[in-house]
Amino acid sequence: MNPAPNGPLIVQSDRTVLLEVAHPDAEDARHDLAVFAELERAPEHIHTYRITRLGLWNARAAGHDAVDMIATLEKYSKFSIPQSVTVDITETVGRYGRLVIERADDGALTLTATDAAVLSEITRARKVAGLLFEKRGPHTYVVQAWARGQLKQELLKLGWPAEDLAGYTPGTPHEIDLTDDGGWHLRPYQHQAIDNFYAHGSGVVVLPCGAGKTLVGLGAMAAGKTTTLILVTNTVSARQWRAELLKRTTLTEDDIGEYSGQVKQVRPVTIATYQILTARRKGEYAHLALLDALDWGLVIYDEVHLLPAPVFKLTADLQARRRLGLTATLVREDGREGDVFSLIGPKRFDAPWKEIEAQGFISPASCYEVRIDLPEGDRLEYAASADDERYRLAATAPAKLGVVRELVKKHAGERILVIGQYLDQIDQLADALDAPQLTGSTPIDERERLYQAFREGSLTVLVVSKVANFSVDLPEATVAIQVSGSFGSRQEEAQRLGRLLRPKESGLPANFYTLVARDTVDQDFAQNRQRFLAEQGYSYTILDAHDLAG
């Protein structure tokens, strides 16, 4: 295929790909490129993607081959693709599946290579050799029974991702069906995600916030009809999963247990928090017994991109159980995407935000960055401060308060979330807006009361900390004003925008504002957050605070 004479992409020999944002084919190119490339930088005019080994292997695991990926580059490239890139893609993708973990007829766990050279290379690695038990045939080793997860981690580090076909325990059967009360049904992409997951047994489903990841989990449970352990980020999320299970499945109150800091119930379907699973007593994990409390047939990891590092180690011992990860982004701020790939499983399905928005399943959103000038005194204080103090000074600049008031006034009557990172700033915002605040110290019952009032419309402005980032169902929120955040976290941007993307009964569009102190690290970090939205097909409109006030 000849490259497009004036395509939007430039493919470079260092495996970076430049996308011309203003090109008429840019949206289509971005959509196809995102299957296997990761967005690195997203300034106004040219976005930079990088083709990584993990990205290629995730795409291969999701059903895309090297021919498809190279064809995408050729279709949109302005110039010929460097030969080194096509060879590199072909060879990297070809590494996936050259090693296979299987069950032998006698039940032994085995590792088989397609050729002796690969087997020789990996068995020379000390960390791999210690996980292998004995050689069985020219291309096969028996694997230590406990080492399935650790072996996959070590092989990935060596650049040889193993395909795990060793099968899964069915778990204890438990009847679970979906109900159609209220006339709801799974959407086509949710059906496809469930089918793809069960075709492989374990892996990650990537869907935007508001696109119904929880319903994919419920559908997977109904397909498996087995005891299920659901791991979630916090107690509020646990309660919401419970409510969805009772509303949309045949499960009863007696079928569902909550295992958290407050309650310790183990039932055929048990919902536990990551915090309780990683809690230690005298240096030991205090609740490890939960992982084997029942013969789980399915383990669901909600918001898998937030999985605490210790849970990876615990998950290495759960490889015989089906594992479903749910997330809006595979990006992890700690860089441990490889452990998600190895231990939860590769990406099995994803659907870009813009694609689902076009189908009418999530609300369209407009994203704005409002740049604010610091007064002279605040600028001087910022300039004289140490590096570790500068972000807080810029993020909590008092000048932002007036802009928040203007935006709340502009959207009067809509349901507005005002989001901050720092507790003293949240106090100031709540006072200035005469609105209730919700932070990590707000009791669970009070949180649920505030959320319910917001859903019903008796409360229209709510000031929240990062506790509201995750798994909070506020479908009628149409405006989010992000006053400060976690140093430009892409995860956080995904979650905060996701608060707005659920379809609205009101029919109002969603507006997402980020307030940024001009010429400070606040603005630098904002560029990192913007990268996530650009990756999903959204762009920021830059507004000046002076124009807003006018």
Q: What is the pLDDT of residues 397-441, one digit of tens each?
A: 999 999 999 999 999 989 898 988 888 999 999 999 999 998 888
Q: Percent of the chain beyond pLDDT 90?
A: 48
pLDDT-based confidence at residue 2 (cuts at 50, 70, 90): low
Reduced to 3 states (helix: H, G, I; strand: E, B; else coil), residue 310 is helix
288 vs 500, more confident: 288
Domain residue extents for the chain: 9-95, 99-160, 181-357, 363-549
Asked whether the predicted pLDDT for residue 394 surpasses 90, the reply is: no
Q: How far apart are CA 38 and CA 48, in angstroms?
A: 9
What is the CATH code of the structural domain delimited by 363-549?
A: 3.40.50.300
pLDDT of residue 17: 96
494 exposure class (CB count in 10 Å sphere: 0-12, 13-18, 19+): buried
So what's the pLDDT on residue 439? Answer: 86
pLDDT score, position 505: 62
- 3-state SS assignment for residue 355: helix
Choose the weakest-confidence range: 101-115, 247-261, 480-494.
480-494
**Strand ranges, E, within 314-464:** 322-327, 347-350, 365-372, 416-419, 437-438, 461-464
Within 396-443, where are the H helices?
399-410, 423-433
How large is the average pLDDT for residues 371-385?
A: 90
What is residue 508's predicted lDDT score, i.e. its pLDDT?
A: 73
Q: What is the mean pLDDT of residues 101-122?
A: 93
The β-bridge partners of 249 are: 178
306 against 141, higher pLDDT: 141
One of 3.90.1150.10, 1.10.10.10, 3.40.50.300, 3.40.50.720 is the CATH number of 181-357, namely 3.40.50.300
Mean pLDDT, residues 507-529: 79
Question: DSSP states of 45-85 as a string?
Answer: SEEEEE--HHHHHHHHHTT--HHHHHHHHHHHBSSPPPHHH
- Would you say residue 59 has pLDDT above 50? yes
pLDDT digit string, tens, across residues 129-143:
999 989 998 999 999
Within its chain, how far is the Cα of 87 from the centroid?
A: 31
8 Å CB contact between 480 and 462: no
pTM to 2 decimal places: 0.78
441-484 confidence digits (pLDDT tens): 888 888 888 888 988 889 999 998 876 554 455 657 888 888 88
Rounded to the nearest 5 degrees, what angle is found at the Cα of 85, between the Cα atoms of 82 and 91?
A: 145
Q: Any idea which of 89-103, 173-187, 323-337 has the lowest mean pLDDT?
A: 323-337
- Percent of the chain surpassing pLDDT 70: 89
Contact 471, 233 (CB under 8 A): yes
- Please state at what angle helix 235-248 crosses helix 444-456, rounded to 10 degrees: 60
- What does DSSP say about strands 228-232 and 203-206: parallel, antiparallel, or unpaired? unpaired
